[in-house]
């Protein structure tokens, strides 16, 4: 990859010197206009009264939106709490199950290719489609939950069962994704290490703890971080499966933003919520990378 072209930069024809910039220009323009600028505009709108349904009341708001959010909106705090609970439970379960699944389909056995395709297939399924499928399973009169001895009452309407139902549904789609990310890391572990460990008399458990886990460390850190952002962002499924209910018990912060944006068209307040979401996510990501010492040399 390191080519000799830097050395000959002086003699390089002008056209070639501009070529890389020409090639990345569409990307730069698209990212600037549709990702960077919007983030800036969120900050601006968060300081405005901006409601599509009440254009007469629009104008500079100062910190009004933030004051309302922090002191007068219990839903902000409850949605924040539920977001943390949702992301934490999903990521821990997906990590454990995804790692187990990756270890299983990493072994060699007859029909492994087919088994991989089948267990990974929910990866390609959208949140809305997942909802359609699981509504059929959870429905009290037609669903498969009848056979599992579930109570007659609707699983999704009951505050005691709705969280578990939501978590299982997302695991169905999320575990394959996690397993795929970890499987890539597993494939990079040299086989000789296992042989050496086996020669030294290490059993299966010790080989897992002392060979597999340390080598997967960075893959696990990155996968958990990416999936955390993704689960934080996961509005499709919750919006369609529970709508944030019953009684807003399953409303995450991004879902709350979406509701304010789609249903009440309150863009100013929605932007303030978005800003808060960005800051919290940024803080958590940096903290996590710091605590996990990502990319650091862990040989010592």
Q: Among residue numbers 246 through 285, which ones bind another protein (CB under 8 A)?
A: 254-255, 257-258, 261-262, 267, 270-271, 274, 277-278, 281-282, 285
Residue span binding another protein (CB under 8 A) among the ranges 18-26, 59-67, 71-79, 159-167? 18-26
Q: What is the CA radius of gyration of the chain?
A: 24
Please state the closest distance from residue 182 (CB atom) to another protein, in A. 9
Near another protein in 146-165, by CB under 8 A: none
Helix (H) or strand (E) holding 256: helix 253-262
Please state the closest distance from residue 81 (CB atom) to another protein, in A. 18
Say how far apart CA 83 and CA 102 lie, in whole Å: 27
Closer residue to another protein (CB): 122 or 245: 122
Q: Compute how many other C-beta atoms are within 10 angstroms of the C-beta atom of residue 232.
A: 22
The length of the chain in residues reads: 300
| Spatial contact of 265 and 215, defined as CB atoms under 8 Å apart | no
Say how far apart CA 269 and CA 292 lie, in whole Å: 34
Please state the closest distance from residue 200 (CB atom) to another protein, in A. 14
Binding test (CB under 8 A) with another protein, winner from 75, 89, 167, 229: 229
Say how far apart CA 97 and CA 178 lie, in whole Å: 9
Q: What angle do CA 187, 190, 196 make, to 5 degrees?
A: 140
Binding test (CB under 8 A) with another protein, winner from 81, 132, 287, 293: 132
Q: Is 73 exposed, middle or buried (0-12, 13-18, 19+ CB in 10 A)?
A: middle
Closer residue to another protein (CB): 67 or 146: 146
Binding test (CB under 8 A) with another protein, winner from 8, 39, 81, 159: 39
Residue 74 in contact with another protein, rule: CB under 8 A: no
Near another protein in 170-209, by CB under 8 A: 172, 176, 180-181, 183-191, 194-195, 198, 204, 207-208
Nearest Cα residue to 65 out of 78, 46, 52: 46
Number of residues that bind another protein (CB under 8 A): 111
């Amino acid at each position: 990859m390191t080519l000799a072209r830097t050395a000959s930069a002086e003699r390089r024809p002008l056209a070639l010197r501009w070529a890389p910039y020409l090639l990345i220009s569409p990307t730069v323009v698209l990212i600037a206009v549709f990702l960077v600028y919007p983030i800036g505009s969120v900050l601006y709108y968060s300081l405005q009264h901006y409601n599509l349904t009440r254009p007469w009341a629009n104008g500079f708001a100062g910190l009004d939106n933030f004051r309302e959010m922090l002191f007068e909106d219990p839903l902000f705090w409850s949605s924040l709490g539920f977001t943390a609970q949702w992301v934490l439970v999903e990521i821990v379960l997906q990590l454990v199950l995804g790692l187990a699944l990756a270890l299983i389909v990493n072994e060699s056995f007859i029909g492994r290719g087919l088994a991989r395709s089948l267990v990974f297939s929910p990866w390609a399924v959208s949140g809305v489609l997942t909802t359609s499928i699981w509504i059929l399973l959870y429905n009290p009169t037609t669903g498969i939950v009848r056979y599992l001895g579930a109570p007659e009452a609707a699983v999704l309407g009951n505050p005691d069962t709705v969280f578990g139902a939501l978590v299982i549904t997302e695991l169905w789609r999320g575990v394959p994704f996690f397993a795929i990310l970890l499987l890539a890391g597993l494939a990079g572990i040299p086989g000789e290490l296992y042989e050496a460990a086996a020669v030294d008399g290490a059993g299966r458990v010790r080989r897992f703890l002392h060979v597999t886990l340390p080598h997967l460390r960075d893959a696990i850190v990155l996968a958990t971080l990416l999936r955390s952002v993704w689960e934080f962002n996961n509005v499709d499924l919750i919006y369609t499966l529970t709508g944030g209910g019953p009684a807003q018990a399953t409303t995450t912060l991004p879902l709350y933003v979406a509701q304010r944006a789609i249903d009440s068209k309150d863009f100013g307040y929605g932007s303030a919520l978005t800003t808060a979401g960005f800051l919290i996510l940024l803080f958590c990501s940096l903290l996590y990378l710091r605590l996990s010492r990502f990319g650091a040399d862990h040989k010592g």
